[in-house]
Each structure stands twice: as structure tokens, then as C-alpha cells.
Amino acid sequence: MNAKPATPLLDTVSTPEDLRTLKPAQLRQLADELRTETISAVGQTGGHLGSGLGVVELTVAIHYVFDTPVDRLVWDVGHQAYPHKILTGRRDRIRTLRQGGGLSGFTKRSESEYDPFGTAHSSTSISAALGFAIGSKIKGEPGRGIAVIGDGAMSAGMAYEAMNNAAEAGNRLIVILNDNDMSIAPPVGGLSAYLARLVSSGQFLGLRELARKFARRLPRPLHVAAKKTDEFARGMAMGGTLFEELGFYYVGPLDGHDLDALVPVLENVRDAGEGPILVHVVTQKGKGYTPAEQAADKYHGVQTFNVVTGEQAKAPAGPPSYTGVFAKALVAEAANDPTICAITAAMPAGTGLDAFAKQFPDRSFDVGIAEQHAVTFAAGLAAQGMRPFCAIYSTFLQRAFDQVVHDVAIQNLPVRFAIDRAGLVGADGATHAGSFDITYLATLPNLVVMAAADEVELVHMVHTAARYDAGPIAFRYPRGNGVGLALPETPQLLEIGKGRVVREGTKVALLSLGTRLSEALKAADVLEARGLSTTVADLRFAKPLDTDLIRRLMLTHEVIVTVEEGSIGGLGAHVLTMASDEGLTDAGLKIRTMRLPDVFQDQNKPDAQYDEAGLNAPQIVDTVLKALRYNSAGVAEARA
């Protein structure tokens, strides 16, 4: 157990109002204590560590200079917001991060007035901050929109769409670019800080605007030349001409860990009459914690860890992860098929495609945070005769739905969608849950949609997708480890639209899709013990349905229960539609659907989430008994 650190100055700061009473000379100590507290808390709970440590000084400076929450502060993605939470009245709960009933690992409107906009998906912050800026301007209310966005998030087009529409916000919009990979430009010593302070000053901005007004009165060739000279001069000294072209006044780059540089520049930006303004700060992931500085990739997301040694808790040995099984199966397929290629949107390790890239670098593509491009790029590859596998988390595939429809499904192009993190995902909560892909994909003509019940089925589905050229095909699988089955040496080619009966019965039929199959089998044992003969089927396909199997079971069983790890409108809806269309419900067949509830579920352990959702063996049993009008003892209730 990590001991809580001594933080005498931080103990006096509960809110940004408290922070603003400190003297500038005290901010360095506060930042050091805030970093120590962040390390201690994440050591106990696990979570995203490196990005938060990289913005400690920036967090202190923003809340010290700006009038939050009147000034609306939006953290892009939100991984880095743990220090922000500590400074905004949530320190007493910081050791409940990502736990059931605890603080979210991201910013969340319902948690605090200092979280004006919820984030978790990338590149949304500038659009949201622009909305705050324009809204307050129209209403004549005080307040700015402040977006803090990382250089990685700047790879997504949405950030530039927002910046391209930001001119009307004027000085009410401030974008702080947190460059923690130094991918744009590094700060160069004291000269960079001096120039940033100079060009953000009111005097400089005033002179610049005066020069602009004068230049507008010049003949057009001289006006254009003056504009280019202004941009060139500042570009030579500062960089940032791209942002200037988008209408932003660029300040930076600044050392994001130097409070003596940050505070005066942010004060100048706050008081500027010009805008919108982009402030470019360069930070280091994991700053101030040696293990995280030396291995930033290993400390981006962490398990609980020993603060002194940096050693992370190891998960108990168990079956391989579904992600690992997918990656291994895809590598095996690609070894025998030179047309197979793989695409990820900035998640090579998360999707397992880093293993594919090592084997086949020329056929592996990381397109950055650009899911829309990833899908249409895959469509182009498919149209050229390649066999692309587009590996994307379920929650992120939502961002590319139009491309799935317009560029893939309508053209019936054989893109393979490997949908990771399907179903409930645990500590990341509602923003990352893969709840909707069955519903939004199975509604589309031409698409085949599969769900793996276990790791063996996943291997078969990778093989089936690799061999399927008739159109687009998707297969979904959850976060976490498999159930412990031995993987097949030779994968099976599944017949499209055909499920399998795992257990035969006569009275009750449980139709499972995905990894709830294990719970369905447990429920069947309980029902059998109560004298209710139970069939369990793994449908494998949400689309096309195995109508022959479903029809047979409906004609020979009294109760049908569908079980899936998806939202309303998924498997259950398709089965009910089929039954209705074929008149199979006319003779009194009892059909019940079990699915995720129509809510956004908060973070918890995955098993606890599924218990809360009612998708476990006891709830399946209860659903069957209620359909049969049996009481909890399994005795039929009297009919009225």
C-alpha cells in the first residue's frame, strides 16, 4: 500500500479560488505537491498517468490565471485531467478514479461545474470551446472558451474544422496546444519564452493591429506583401504559420513546465483584445516521475503500481486476450495471403496490430486519429483487390458510420471490420462502451455481422472474414481475456448466416450472440435442475440471421430468449421481426429479449457492469421463469 504523501500547501487549496490567493512564488511548490498527489492516487487506482503528469504546471497556470468555471475549460480526451480534478474540489475522491461509484477517468459534466463539457473521444475540445465562446458572446455574458488539446489529437480533421470556423469568437476563444511529443516545434531556450511573452503582450498586439489597418489601405499587391511579411517574420521566429492561416494568433512554443514563463504569457493572452489565440506549449509525458519519463509508453495507462519502485501490479496468469488472439490469427492469415493488409486509427498496441506491423510493415497502416479516413482508405484498398482488415474499437467506429454506409456498404466492398472492445469495457465507462455496433451495423444492407462467443470462435471468424469477398463483413469481440479454450491449429471456415446448437433441449431455447454464451450455459444448468429442458444456441451471426435454426427452435420450444451484449435494436429486434413476419408468434410462443439497458452505464468492473445490466445466468433464469409464469421456486403460478 502506497502511503499518502505530505502536501502542506496543496492541503490549503480545495478550489481554483483558493489557488488564486497564492503568490506566484508559491506555485512551484504547489505544482510539485500536485504531481506527488497525482502519482500517489494513480498508484492506488491505476489509470492514465503519463499525460496527467505532463500537464501539472499547465493545469496550475490555467486555473491561476483564468476565472474558471466562468471561463469554460475543456480538456481534449480527458486522460490528462486528474490534476485538474484534484484542484477543483474532488481531491477527497481522487482515489476512487475509474472505480464503481467513483470519479470518472475523464471529464464529466455531472461531476463538477469545472467540467463544463464531457470528453473521452479525441479532438472535440476546440469545437466545444468555440460553442462556449460564441454562446457567451451572443448572450453578452462574461467567459471564454479554453481548449487544451494534444498534438496527437491534432491529427484528426475535426480539430481543423473547428479552427476554420473560429474567427467570430475573437478573443473569447483560446486554444492551448499541448505538444508532448515535440512533433510540431521544440522550445529553444530563453529566447523562445521571451518572444512568446513579447508577441502576446498588449503593446505588440496593438501595434500589429494598427499595422494591419494601415496595410489594408495599401494597394492590393502591397497589402498582400505586407501580410506575408508579417507572417514570415513571425514564422521565422516562432513557427505556427499554419495556425495563422486558420485565423489564429500564434504564441509559442513555450516550455510547459516553466511556470515563470507560462503565467505571464497566459495573463497576456487573457487580457488580449485580439483573437482567437493559440498558445503552443511543449511538455513531457510522465514529467517528474522517473519511471514514467523513461518509459512513457508503459506509463500512459497503468495498473496499480508501487510509487517507490514504479513496479506495476501484474494481472494473474490466464488465457490470452481476445485482442492477442485476433492479432495472432490475422498474422497467420496474412502469411499465406499477400493481399491481406491491416489498418488502425492510432491504436496499434490497443488493437494488436503492432504485432502485424512487425511481420508485415508494408501492409500495415496507422492513419492516426482518423477513423473516417481509415474506413474509406480500406474501401479504396478493397476496390483495388486487397483484403483490408480495419481494426477499430467499437466506440470509435461510431465516428465513421457515414463512411461505413456510403463508402463501404452501398458499394458492397469487401472491407473486414475487426471490432475490438465490443460490449461493456469496465473502467473507461460509458464513453468507451461498445454498446451500439450490432444495432448500427446489422441495419445496413450487404453487411455481414458476427460476434465471437469465445477465443476459438474468434479464430474461426478471422479466417472466415479473410476468405469472404462477397461484401463487407464485421466481427466483434470484447475487451479482456478468453475463457481458456485451446486454440485450433486449423481454423474453420464458417458458413455465412449459420449458427450452432451447443446444447439440445425441448422446452426453453436460449439464443446467444457473443460471449454471454457462457452465462446462457450456466442458466441452462439451473433450468434443467428445475425440470425445464433447455436448448442453448450460439447464433454467431446477427446478420444474416440463421432463420432455419431460429424457425426450428420457435416451432419446437415454448419459450425463446435472446441474449446479447448490445443495445436496443440489435439481435432481439431482428429475431422479433422475423418471428412476426413469419407469423411464428401467432400460436402463443413466448419470446423475450435480453440486452443492454437503455442507459449509459458508468464505470465498474466488467462483470459488475453485466450484473447491473441483468445479463448474467440468474437473470436469464429469472426471465425464463417469468415468461412461464413460474415463481422463484419453479412452481407454476395460478392463472387468473
Residue-wise pLDDT tens digits, 515-531 = 999 999 999 999 999 99
On whether the CB atoms of residues 455 and 322 are closer than 8 A, the answer is: yes
In this prediction, residues 602-620 reach a mean pLDDT of 97
Identify the weakest region by mean pLDDT among 140-144, 213-217, 398-402, 585-589: 213-217
What beta strand segments (E) does 142-259 contain? 145-150, 173-179, 249-255
Q: Which of residues 268, 302, 336 is at a domain's end?
A: 302
One domain for residues 294 and 408 = no
Confidence class for position 635, pLDDT limits 50, 70, 90 = low
Give the model confidence (pLDDT) of 316-338 as tens digits: 788 999 999 999 999 999 999 99
One domain for residues 121 and 244 = yes
Residue 640, pLDDT above cutoff 50: no
One domain for residues 471 and 561 = no
C-alpha grid cell, residue 60: 496550475
Q: What is the DSSP string of 330-378?
A: HHHHHHT-TTEEEEESS-HHHHTHHHHHHH-GGGEEE--S-HHHHHHHH
pLDDT the model gives residue 239: 56
486 located within any domain: no
599 located within any domain: yes
CB atoms within 10 A of CB 216: 11
338 located within any domain: yes
Share of the chain above pLDDT 70, in %: 89
Q: Which of residues 272, 302, 332 is at a domain's end?
A: 302
Kind plus residue range of the DSSP H or E element containing 541:
strand 541-543
One domain for residues 234 and 343 = no
Average pLDDT value for the chain = 91
Q: Which of residues 253, 269, 302 is at a domain's end?
A: 302
307 located within any domain: no
Residue 372, pLDDT above cutoff 70: yes
pLDDT the model gives residue 204: 55
Give the model confidence (pLDDT) of 531-557 as tens digits: 999 999 999 999 999 999 999 999 999
One domain for residues 601 and 532 = yes
One domain for residues 170 and 121 = yes
Q: Is the peptide bond before 221 cis (omega within 30 degrees of 0)?
A: no
Confidence class for position 191, pLDDT limits 50, 70, 90 = very low
d(CA 159, CA 10): 34
pLDDT the model gives residue 240: 64
pLDDT the model gives residue 237: 45
One domain for residues 433 and 534 = no
Q: Which domain range does residue 355 map to? A: 324-476
Identify the weakest region by mean pLDDT among 112-116, 117-121, 218-222, 389-393: 218-222
Q: What is the CATH number of the domain that holds 118?
A: 3.40.50.970
One domain for residues 555 and 442 = no
pLDDT the model gives residue 300: 81
One domain for residues 143 and 290 = yes
95 located within any domain: no
Residue 186, pLDDT above cutoff 90: no
Share of the chain above pLDDT 90, in %: 80
On whether the CB atoms of residues 144 and 173 are closer than 8 A, the answer is: yes
**Within the chain, what is the greatest distance between any pair of CA atoms?**
94
pLDDT the model gives residue 260: 96
Q: What is the CATH number of the domain that holds 513?
A: 3.40.50.920
Query: Partners of 73 in the beta sheet?
Result: 146
| Four-point Cα dihedral 12, 18, 24, 27, nearest 10 | 50
27 located within any domain: no
pLDDT the model gives residue 274: 86
pTM: 0.89
Strand pairing class (508-513; 47-48): unpaired
Identify the weakest region by mean pLDDT among 173-177, 313-317, 364-368, 525-529: 313-317
Confidence class for position 311, pLDDT limits 50, 70, 90 = confident
In terms of C-beta density within 10 A (0-12 exposed, 13-18 middle, 19 or more buried), how is residue 207 classed?
exposed
Identify the weakest region by mean pLDDT among 75-84, 230-239, 351-360, 462-471: 230-239
Domain count, the chain: 3
Name the residue with higher pLDDT: 254 or 636: 254
Catalytic residue IDs: 285, 371, 399
Identify the weakest region by mean pLDDT among 175-184, 367-376, 395-404: 175-184
On whether the CB atoms of residues 170 and 164 are closer than 8 A, the answer is: no
463 located within any domain: yes
Name the residue with higher pLDDT: 79 or 221: 79
One domain for residues 116 and 255 = yes
One domain for residues 281 and 407 = no
Confidence class for position 189, pLDDT limits 50, 70, 90 = low
Kind plus residue range of the DSSP H or E element containing 475:
strand 473-476
On whether the CB atoms of residues 306 and 2 are closer than 8 A, the answer is: yes
Confidence class for position 217, pLDDT limits 50, 70, 90 = low
98 located within any domain: no
| Four-point Cα dihedral 228, 234, 236, 238, nearest 10 | -150
Helix then strand then coil, in percent of the chain rounded to 5, is 45, 15, 40
One domain for residues 380 and 527 = no
Residue 213, pLDDT above cutoff 80: no
